[in-house]
Amino acid sequence: MKVTVNGETREMRALWMEGEIIKFIDQRVLPERIEIFQARDYNDVAFAIKDMVVRGAPAIGVSAAYGIAQAYMQGRDLKRVADILSKTRPTAYDLFYAIRYMMDRIERGDDPIRAAEDYANDIVERSRKIGEYGNKLIKNGSRILTHCNAGALAVLDWGTALAPMRMAKREGKDIFVWVDETRPRLQGAKLTSWELKNEGIRHKIIADNAAGLLMKRGEVDLIIVGADRIALNGGFANKIGTYEKAVLAKTHGIPFYVAAPFSTIDRGIRNEDMIPIEERSQDEVLYAGKCRIAPDGVEAYNPAFDVTPPDYVEGFITEYGILRPDEIEKRFSP
């Protein structure tokens, strides 16, 4: 992805491996500062995923793949490391997919470092294809709404929901993006806006609860979001607040698309209600930055994701093309 530091623009990945060290753009401090978090062993990798130094389903998967390769280089017990990494975050399916991919390749006798690099490069290629297919949905002048961050920070290089927008812009289409701020962690306001700004894509951040007004006024042509886990029935989990956008979109006749690679599809889960939902610290809701915004002693509830049934989804933008929700099961059933 393009990153501009002190007026100078260069290409950077959300994470990469250098020798035995896994390096991450620290997403906790963007857009204020660009800092690199260095994971020196599997404990650091587990911390990076848990504390959201790195986040977004496919990027979490790549982190786990590199984490296992690193553990191999350091002579660790790989089964134990895989177990520790698999307990970092429960919802994003890519984490479990990547761990299984790595363990299978290692069992087959493949070099783990090669396998992790293959995994990362494969995700990049899949997201590039998602960009190509999704770009076909975007017209010159399209006003697109997105939720959370499903960009290059969450995926590598292209993104999922943001990949079609990147492609459209690079092809010369004039597009505009409404960016939901995405309370409580503000991935939209902090991360998606940062990526779009670096890419020169016109956009405005809106409070999460402003989307309904914009849809009613006819100011949204298309919605594209990412996914953390997709069930066989075409229901899916994504950042909290996605479901209400999908319901509003249907009410207002606005096409609602989900962009995600194969690694996000959980073929062992029949419907979206079976997806485990991560509950995060109350403090994410009770505080804005370091400042408490709620009265002392009051509690909050903080589910990090919600689930959307398939009836609200126009299509899934995948590396295999754009699929209707009912095509997920037909195509990917184990």
C-beta of 149: minimal distance to ligand MRU in Å? 6
CA distance 123 to 137: 22
Helix (H) or strand (E) holding 69: helix 57-73
Please say which residue, 186 or 232, places its beta carbon nearer to ligand MRU: 186
C-beta of 106: minimal distance to ligand MRU in Å? 26
228 flagged as catalytic: yes
CA distance 149 to 1: 14
Strands (E), 105-255: 143-146, 176-180, 202-206, 222-225, 229-230, 236-239
Please say which residue, 113 or 302, places its beta carbon nearer to ligand MRU: 302
Q: Whose CB is nearest to ligand MRU?
A: 226
- Which of 94, 228, 266, 306 is catalytic? The answer is 228
C-beta of 111: minimal distance to ligand MRU in Å? 28
Please say which residue, 173 or 280, places its beta carbon nearer to ligand MRU: 280
Please say which residue, 105 or 199, places its beta carbon nearer to ligand MRU: 199
C-beta of 55: minimal distance to ligand MRU in Å? 3
Three-class SS string for 97-129? HHHHHHHHHHHCCCCHHHHHHHHHHHHHHHHHH
Please say which residue, 105 or 239, places its beta carbon nearer to ligand MRU: 239
Strands (E), 40-152: 143-146
Edge-to-edge strands of the sheet including 176-180? Answer: 202-206, 176-180, 143-146, 222-225, 256-259, 315-318, 321-323
C-beta of 226: minimal distance to ligand MRU in Å? 2
CA distance 71 to 42: 6
With a CB cutoff of 8 Å and minimum separation 6, the contacts of 278 are: 89, 90, 91, 303, 304, 305
CA distance 154 to 147: 13
Contact 130, 137 (CB under 8 A): no
CA distance 42 to 82: 9
C-beta of 132: minimal distance to ligand MRU in Å? 17
Please say which residue, 71 or 225, places its beta carbon nearer to ligand MRU: 225
Q: What 3-state class would DSSP assign to 5? A: strand
List interacting residues with ligand MRU (CB under 6 A).
55-58, 148-150, 154-155, 160, 187, 225-228, 238-239, 304
CA distance 270 to 135: 30
Catalytic residues: 228
